[in-house]
């Protein structure tokens, strides 16, 4: 029997916020029926208006506050909430760190896994940290603009300050935008699938200050391309690489498969934990370098290497963790599905004079099965998967190889919990506390390091 929701659309109610969802929305309960409210914090009493009712939950908007949380930050720019750039900016930073620790603890507790979660490692300055920007280019009111989409829509809100990005990147985007206007380059139009320039991507080395500009175009060539490229590198002295990426498909995927270097080199360099890395346009590189050093150092420390171990790094990307591990291990094997990332990883191994690393292009789960068949016996396996977590077959292959330790670097607590439960079924236990690291301040995302040991 379908029960009727205790609220109706447009109804106004007085509520107290009980909790925050993992997306950072306030939760109020009416007869155990949860309502999700943006920009509301635990403990606050407010008047809300119901905007949408589903069978098991609803959404509402805040109309007026009766009491405000002591953790509320007053002067926030609502644009950053509307675009989803900084959905937690209204929550004081120490409370954001507690929220992230609580988020992980809560999910483990729901799965009946007894575990300690350490306080989240935060940043001294939790803004202006991103070393990479991907900014859509659209025509707004007759003019080419760069900015960010309003959440759940494709309406571009023009922006010049992105708050959580390196200010040098924000300034570079404005320079490129002005040159695109000057050369009258047509912005991409999603509806008609016409126009030229879709996205500007900028990467900047945190230590090196080398800058890469990637122009993502619907067409094989941009009008006035040579003059545009010439003006970009004249206007931006840090630029050491200008790249054209062609994406002719009608798709939400940002980049296409064709990449051509228009100026300088195809990569920029930066360093991490004292190692040098070449980073190409399409390869994955963590966006918060300061916190990445803490995160990776933590993973290396927890691996407890003496120099005699064989280590596997699944999802190795351009070799950031693999090479840091290689300095402390006998042999490291890395695997990634992106061919360009593995090319970069091999170059990076040479750059850092490390010969005890082998890199393979493959899906992590199939390569793990192959290494297992080849009789490779790792002492430690390090995994740093995407948000969807580990494939069950990868967990099975890992358990069959029987490493003493698995170090799990996670960017999604929900899939971490699921995967840890699977490892426990196969004879592994959590060792010590889970360590959250705040890679993405002002957003609900949290990274963490968990160590599993063979029983």
DSSP annotation string for 174-218: HHHHHHHHHTTPPBPBTTTTB-SEEEEEEEE-TTT--EEEEEEES
Output the pLDDT for position 290. Answer: 94
Beta bridge partners of 202: 133, 213
For 158-178, the pLDDT digits (tens) are: 999 999 999 999 999 999 999
Task: Return the biggest CA–CA distance within the chain.
Answer: 69
Tokens of 258: 């064709």
Percent of the chain with pLDDT strictly greater than 90: 91
Output the pLDDT for position 151. Answer: 87
Please say whether the dihedral angle defined by the alpha carbons of residues 317, 270, 163 and 155, taken in this order, is positive or negative: negative
For 52-85, the pLDDT digits (tens) are: 999 999 999 999 999 999 999 998 888 888 888 8
Strands of 143-149's sheet in order across: 156-158, 143-149, 132-140, 197-204, 211-217, 239-246, 258-264
With contact defined as beta carbons under 8 Å apart, do 296 and 321 qualify? Answer: yes
Q: Give the SS3 label for residue 91.
A: strand
Decide which of 47 and 81 is more confident: 47
Residue by residue, what is the 3-state secondary structure of 225-257?
A: HHHHHHHHHHHCCCEEEEEEEECCCCCCCCCCC
**Residues 277-299: what's their mean pLDDT?**
92
With contact defined as beta carbons under 8 Å apart, do 69 and 43 qualify? Answer: yes
**Residues 228-242: what's their mean pLDDT?**
97
Q: How many helices (H) and strands (E) does the chain have?
A: 10, 23
For 336-355, the pLDDT digits (tens) are: 998 988 999 999 999 999 99
Output the pLDDT for position 300. Answer: 92
Is residue 237 over pLDDT 70?
A: yes
Q: How many CB atoms lie within 10 A of CB 379?
A: 21
**Residues 16-31: what's their mean pLDDT?**
93
Structure-token match 């920029």, residue found: 268
Is 411 designated active site? Answer: yes
**Residues 315-343: what's their mean pLDDT?**
94
Catalytic site residue from 215, 300, 314, 411: 411
Average pLDDT over the chain, rounded to whole? 95
DSSP annotation string for 338-401: -HHHHHHHHHHHHHTT--SEEEEES-HHHHHHHHHHTT---SEEEE---TT---HHHHHHHHHH
Distance from C-alpha of 194 to C-alpha of 218, rounded to nearest angstrom? 8
With contact defined as beta carbons under 8 Å apart, do 240 and 265 qualify? Answer: yes
* Helix, strand and coil in the chain, % to nearest 5: 25, 30, 40
What values do phi and psi take at 394, rounded to 5? -70, -40
Which H or E run includes 59? strand 58-67
Decide which of 399 and 3 is more confident: 399
Tokens of 64: 């007026």
Is residue 2 over pLDDT 70?
A: no
Is residue 442 over pLDDT 90?
A: yes
Q: pLDDT band for 283, please (50, 70, 90 cuts).
A: confident
pTM above 0.95, yes or no: no
**Residues 379-389: what's their mean pLDDT?**
95
Question: Which domains, and CATH codes, for the chain?
Answer: 12-70 (2.40.50.140), 132-269 (2.40.50.1070), 288-454 (3.40.50.150)
With contact defined as beta carbons under 8 Å apart, do 334 and 327 qualify? Answer: no
Output the pLDDT for position 82. Answer: 83
Question: Among 120, 145, 280, which residue's Cα sits nearest to residue 200?
Answer: 145
Output the pLDDT for position 1. Answer: 52
For 174-184, the pLDDT digits (tens) are: 999 999 999 99
Cα separations in angstroms, 249 against 218, 340, 433, 442: 8, 21, 46, 33
Structure-token match 């155990």, residue found: 32
**Residues 252-261: what's their mean pLDDT?**
94
Output the pLDDT for position 77. Answer: 86
Q: pLDDT band for 409, please (50, 70, 90 cuts).
A: very high
Percent of the chain with pLDDT strictly greater than 70: 99
**Residues 115-137: what's their mean pLDDT?**
97
């Amino acid at each position: 029997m379908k029960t009727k929701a205790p609220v109706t659309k447009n109804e106004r109610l007085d509520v107290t916020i009980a909790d925050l969802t993992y997306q950072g929305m306030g939760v109020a309960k009416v007869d155990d029926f949860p309502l999700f409210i943006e920009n509301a914090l635990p403990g606050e009493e407010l008047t809300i208006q119901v905007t949408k009712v589903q069978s098991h939950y609803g959404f509402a908007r805040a109309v007026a506050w009766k009491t405000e949380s002591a953790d509320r930050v007053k002067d926030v720019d609502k644009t950053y909430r509307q675009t989803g750039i900084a959905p937690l900016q209204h929550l004081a930073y120490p409370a954001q760190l507690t929220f992230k620790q609580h988020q992980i603890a809560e999910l483990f507790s729901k799965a009946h896994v007894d575990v300690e979660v350490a306080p989240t490692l935060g940043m001294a300055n939790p803004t202006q940290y991103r070393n990479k920007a991907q900014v859509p280019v659209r025509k707004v009111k007759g003019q080419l603009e760069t900015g960010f989409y309003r959440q759940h829509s494709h309406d571009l809100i023009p922006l010049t300050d992105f708050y959580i990005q390196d200010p040098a990147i924000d300034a570079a985007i404005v320079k490129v935008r002005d040159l695109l206007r000057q050369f009258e380059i047509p912005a991409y139009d999603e509806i008609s699938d016409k126009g030229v320039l879709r996205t500007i991507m900028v990467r900047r080395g945190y230590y090196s200050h080398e800058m890469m500009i990637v122009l993502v175009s619907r067409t094989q060539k941009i009008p006035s391309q040579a003059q545009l490229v010439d003006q970009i590198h004249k206007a931006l002295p840090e630029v050491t690489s200008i790249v054209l990426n062609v994406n002719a498909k009608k798709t939400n995927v940002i980049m296409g498969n064709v990449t051509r270097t228009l100026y300088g080199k195809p990569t920029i360099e930066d360093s991490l934990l004292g190692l040098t890395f070449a980073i190409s346009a399409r390869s994955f590189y963590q966006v918060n370098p300061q916190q990445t050093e803490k995160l990776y150092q933590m993973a290396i420390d927890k691996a407890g290497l003496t120099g005699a171990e064989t280590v596997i790094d699944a999802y190795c990307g351009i070799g950031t963790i693999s090479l840091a591990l290689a300095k402390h291990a006998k042999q490291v094997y890395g695997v990634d599905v992106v061919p360009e990332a593995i090319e970069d990883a091999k170059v990076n191994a040479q750059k850092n004079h490390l010969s005890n690393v082998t890199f393979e292009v493959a899906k992590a789960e199939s390569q793990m099965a192959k290494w297992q068949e080849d009789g490779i016996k790792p002492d430690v396996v390090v995994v740093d998967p995407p948000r969807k977590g580990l494939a069950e077959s990868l967990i099975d292959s890992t358990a069959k190889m029987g490493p003493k330790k698995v170090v799990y670097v996670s960017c999604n607590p929900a899939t971490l919990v699921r995967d840890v439960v699977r490892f426990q079924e196969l004879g592994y236990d959590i060792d010590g506390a889970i360590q959250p690291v705040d890679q993405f301040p002002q957003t609900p995302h949290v990274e963490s390091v968990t160590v599993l040991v063979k029983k």
